[in-house]
């Protein structure tokens, strides 16, 4: 599961990512942006490293935009990556979790 390095808003956004995410960005930079070379370094396929990078980009975007981290989404992404749950099932769980969270935040808004 992804953890975040620091919630401190005064630090640069990249430094607020989890250490594993920072390492991926470092390796990508050292590989001159080559996803093919990065995939080889990590011993994974190109689509796997692309998906992992997309997840890091989304976490970084959330930090830059001031959105709260979504631990449930991160957990589900990890489960999909390990093949323990399908992407379709992960989206269904995520959507259900978000709906339940909204209901808890606004209990009087139920239809």
Q: Which runs of consecutive H residues, i.e. helices, occur in 1-111?
A: 19-30, 35-42, 46-64, 71-81, 87-105
Q: What is the pLDDT of residues 96-111, one digit of tens each?
A: 998 898 888 777 665 5
User: Rounded to two decimals, what is the model's pTM?
Assistant: 0.66
Distances (CA, A) of 33 to 16, 54, 55, 77, 99: 21, 14, 16, 23, 38
pLDDT given at position 42: 95
Q: What is the pLDDT of residues 26-61, one digit of tens each?
A: 999 999 999 999 999 999 999 999 989 998 998 899
First to last CA, the chain: 34
Report the greatest alpha carbon distance in the chain. 53
Q: What is the pLDDT of residues 63-89, one digit of tens each?
A: 999 887 778 888 888 888 888 999 899
Closest to 61 in 3D by CA, of 48, 98, 70, 99: 70
């Amino acid at each position: 599961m992804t953890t975040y390095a620091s919630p401190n808003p005064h630090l640069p956004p990249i430094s607020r990512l989890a250490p594993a995410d920072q390492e991926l960005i470092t390796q990508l930079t050292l590989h001159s942006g080559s996803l093919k070379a990065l995939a080889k370094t990590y011993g994974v396929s190109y689509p796997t490293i692309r998906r992992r990078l997309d997840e890091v980009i989304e976490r970084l975007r959330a930090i830059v935009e001031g959105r709260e981290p979504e631990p449930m989404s991160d957990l589900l992404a990890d489960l999909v990556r390990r093949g323990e749950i399908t992407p379709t099932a992960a989206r269904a769980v995520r959507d259900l979790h978000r709906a339940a969270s909204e209901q808890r935040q606004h209990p009087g808004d139920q239809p």
